[in-house]
Amino acid sequence: MKKGLTELCYGFFSTLANPTRLAIMEKLSKSDMNVTQLSEALGQEQSMISHNLEKLTRCRFVYQERRGKTIVYSLNRETASALFNTVKNHAKEHCPYKGKCPDSRSLAQERKNRNMYCNQCEQTAMGTGCTIVGVCGKTAEVAALQDLLIYSLKGISILAMEAQKHGMTDNDLNEFTVKALFSTLTNVNFDLQRFVELINQSIDKRESLKKKIMSIGGKISSNEDTVTFLPATTVEEMVKQGEKVGLKADVSDNPDIQSLHQILTFGLKGVSAYAYHALILGKKDNEVFNFIYKGLASTRNLSLSPDDLVSLILGCGRINLRTMELLDAANTEAYGNPVPTKVPLGAKRGKAILVSGHDLKDLEELLKQTEGKGINVYTHGEMLPTHGYPKLKRYPHFYGHYGTAWQNQRKEFAEFPGAILMTTNCIQKPQESYRDNIFTSGVVGMPDVKHISNSDFAPVIKKALEMPGFPEDAPGKSVTVGFGHNTVLGIADKIVQAVKNKEIKHFFLVAGCDGAKPGRNYYTEFVEKAPKDSVVLTLACGKFRFFDKDLGDIGGIPRLIDIGQCNDAYSAIQIASALAKAFGVSVNDLPLSMVLSWYEQKAVAILLTLLHLGIKDIRLGPSLPAFTTPNILKVLVDKFNIMPITTPDQDLNSILN
């Protein structure tokens, strides 16, 4: 925030931060009044009313005019109405106390009574952890059930490790595990009842696995609570169970060990998301499932040293690379290799459906079911790159892209004149204005939002046909997508020659998750200030800070190359590896700098993949993870020279000089 705007806001809210002034404004919202009338209505001395009116009129929150012999005051309704509506909406939609703010003593008691602790995302409260309600919007109750589900999955993992010793593989259990773990990612599932169901299902599957292991003579530990505990019969009691087994209930009391456990767990959450998407398109590898079990089980093993855990964390990066490879194969075999495609950012006259998330299969099913119905389908967020897939772009009603990154959805969805489908993260609590228009599918869950099962999108289509749609064509900019590794490597010779001719002097990978936390404008400014003889590669929703900027080209090579979704980090790795091979150097010796933004756990998995590959000098922001202790951060700095972003000018100067 600029200094001038900070001062402006401070002056604005300082003037209003007085109960008498607010009471005056509330009275004037009903009718114009003079000092005497306000004094009687509020039960205060006329001198006090006059004193506060002077400040309100000076700042033009209130107007005064003479009517005969009396000075009458009226409210600046243009400002006040918008302000009051904003406050009411915030209290209703965002405030965990619905506007009834507790005093400091009550707040301290609430913290004492609640055992919520969640630090898995970049926006975690105070940069340490959410303890009352998640910044993402999840309640303490949902957080507790997510912790209880992970606790149960750890028990399943210990048993699955024993089953592996006897050559047992349970495909149904594998699918359930990645689906359940995926559901605990940031901004995926906020539905308390769905977690109750997942926890109960996990116990059923755990007990079934026990029987199978015992039938072949396997061993089952009776000393491990994750293997033996039973969930309570009521939601309230189940929440209490979850509060006792969260992040702070680690088997170790060593903060560094706890940090390593959290890094591994969050990385595994990211792996599970990619494994789930690959699985629903028919791609799987038991090595992936086995590592997830191994990783989760290891967080219950006190005999593992810090070095053992660091090895497992880098192993998580290795297995994530394999998982992204599976998902890349699943997407390209199902829909073809992405090709450069111009995507309109405007609107087309007619009925409309907006699809957000990451799920290509759900998108394809929706496109099939909307054929011939006069409905145009738009993408939102990380669905933008899907326009480059040949078997998806062949649908004539697959029109364009609407909006930007996930954190802007409450404004953008409220303005969209059609139905909305959320296929994966990141969903936010809907505003009332579009709650009836939004649907979820797959692992996504939100209370009071209709969920689509079995890819039957008839309710979404029905809602779209009922809504007005876009009344007329609204031309806008366009952006180009479709630069996956197949496309970029197809022009590798041209890129190599441009580098040898010194036409291209540097590559920047500016990629990762976007978010609402201040400081992310850094990435916009960084790309704008990147030298004209450099190329910017990007992927994931972090690109929406600059995706529609025209950076031009270098000899026909675009200076801004959109590689795809977050999982298309696999493509970025293939591109970097191919260039390194072409120049006969390591990736670290390329004129390539990685400037990454992170928000949730898929970004953690990708970062671990880069570390597994030995990539150094990564710049990470807008802030470093709350789940890394100073000692663990020192290990990362010493081994990989990972560093926080500073300012665009300072970082560019450091990189290029």
Residues 6+ apart with CB under 8 A from 503: 533, 554, 555
* Phi, psi (degrees; rounded to nearest 5) at 372: 75, 10
Average of pLDDT values for 441-455? 96
CB atoms within 10 A of CB 468: 9
8-state DSSP, 103: P
pLDDT score of 108 more than 60? no
| 150-199 pLDDT, tens digit each | 999 999 999 999 999 999 999 999 999 999 999 999 999 999 999 999 99
**Residue 222 DSSP class:** S
Q: According to the model, what pLDDT value does residue 6 have? A: 74
pLDDT of residue 95 exceeding 80: no
Q: H-helix or E-strand containing 452?
A: strand 450-452
Q: What are the pLDDT digits (tens) for 272-304?
A: 999 999 999 999 999 999 999 999 999 999 999
Q: What is the pLDDT of residue 104?
A: 55
Strand residue runs (E) in 58-142: 62-67, 70-75
Architecture per CATH, domain 140-333, reads as Up-down Bundle (1.20)
The two tokens of residue 233 are 């019969």
Least confident of 92-101, 229-238, 339-348, 602-611: 92-101
What is the tens place of the pLDDT at every residue in 624-657?
Answer: 999 999 999 999 999 999 999 999 999 999 999 9
Give the CA distances from residue 635 to residues 254, 260, 638, 643, in Å, rounded to whole numbers and listed in that order: 16, 11, 5, 12
**Token pair of 382 as six digits:** 């990380």
**Nearest residue to 444 via CA among 185, 241, 80, 90:** 185
Nearest to 384 by CA among 505, 563, 201: 563
Which single residue is written with the structure tokens 């993949």? 609
Q: With bands split at pLDDT 50, 70 and 90, how would you rate the model's confidence at 2?
A: very low
The structure tokens 């952006």 sit at 479
336: left (phi over 0), alpha (psi -120 to 50) or beta: left
Range 15-27 average pLDDT: 91
Fold of the domain spanning 341-466: Rossmann fold (3.40.50)
Distance from C-alpha of 170 to C-alpha of 158, rounded to nearest angstrom: 14
Sign of CA dihedral 548, 554, 557, 559: negative
pLDDT of residue 96: 64
For the chain, domain boundaries: 3-82, 140-333, 341-466
Mean pLDDT of the chain: 94
Distances (CA, A) of 173 to 79, 207, 211, 249: 57, 12, 14, 26
Q: pLDDT by residue (tens digit) across 556-603?
A: 999 999 999 999 999 999 999 999 999 999 999 999 999 999 999 999
Class for the domain spanning 3-82: mainly alpha
CA–CA separation, 531 and 535 (whole Å): 9
List CB contacts of 566: < 8 A, sequence separation 6 or more: 358, 382, 512, 513, 539, 540, 541, 602, 603, 606
Q: What whole-number distance in Å separates Cα of residue 567 and Cα of residue 605?
A: 10
Question: Residue 1 has what pLDDT?
Answer: 43
